[in-house]
Amino acid sequence: MARAMTIARAAEQAGVGVETIRFYERRGLIEQPLRPSGGGYRHYERETVERIRFIRQAQELGFSLCEIAELLALKTDPNADCSDVRMQAVAKRQDVDGKIAQLEDIRSALDVLIARCPGGGDLSACTIMDAISERPTMNTAPHLDDAASRTQLVRTIFGIDGMHCVGCARTVEALLGAEPGVGEASVSFERREVSVSFDKGITSVGRLREAAAKAGYHISESGL
């Protein structure tokens, strides 16, 4: 007969911390051994260690503690069928697929933000900070790829004042490019002008002028 273990030894064998075992006990996932009548440490059996390992491995597969409790109940149910466990696994895989799709959407959104980030200049023009602040900067970008949206895009060249260096030009480029409805913004520091393609159904020259003014730049009347 295998020798019973203290909680510290059981934790070591299961590859978890002592507090993890106590947490599982509080959640009812494992039973807490009775304290010996003569005093001393509680003794844990090998089966408890195996149960703890099962719980940890199920957690690593993405199962919640409630779902693990259901799996443990199936494990001890003489009437349970393998199909019951398979249903649990299929449901978890579907859940994982949903999370993967959500993460891929997040990655795509980050790719757009990173591509449009000027990499320097005034922080007020930072597209990434705007997105984190829940400012509607990139939300319309996917729609601009649609043929219907492209037909509404107009390109206009404006003069712009207030730039002192190439970094300022990149800041203006990012600032305007992050505005809803803007397909592309290209700034020339040498010519002191900005070329903007935007959807007139979503934004306007007035809004673009306001966005530039917030960062200290002025879009002139030329080209309007």
* Residue pointed to by tokens 């959407």: 105
Q: Are residues 215 and 130 in the same domain?
A: yes
Q: Side-chain half-sphere of 43: how many Cα atoms within 13 Å?
A: 9
Q: Which residues pair with 125 in a beta bridge?
A: none
H or E, element range at 20: helix 18-26
Q: Give the total number of structural domains in the chain.
A: 2
CATH of the domain at 195: 3.30.70.100
User: Where does a domain end: 77, 108, 135?
Assistant: 77
Residue 146 φ/ψ, nearest 5 degrees: -75, 145
Query: What pLDDT shows up at residue 118?
Result: 65
Residue 43: CATH number of its domain: 1.10.1660.10
In-domain check, residue 92: no
Do 69 and 128 have their domain in common? Answer: no
What is the pLDDT at residue 2? 53
Residue-by-residue pLDDT tens, the chain, 224 positions: 456 789 999 999 999 999 999 999 999 999 999 888 888 889 999 999 999 999 999 998 888 888 899 899 888 888 888 888 888 888 888 888 888 888 887 787 777 777 766 666 676 767 677 767 654 444 444 443 443 344 467 888 888 888 877 777 887 888 788 788 888 888 888 888 888 888 887 888 888 888 888 777 888 755 43
The structure tokens 């509080």 sit at 26
CA 179 to chain centre: 22
73 with 127, same domain: the answer is no
pLDDT of residue 126: 72
- Strand (E) or helix (H) holding 214: helix 205-214
- 205 and 130 in a common domain: yes
How many whole angstroms separate alpha carbon 62 and alpha carbon 49? 20
**Per-residue pLDDT, 48:** 93
Which residues form the domain of 166? 123-219
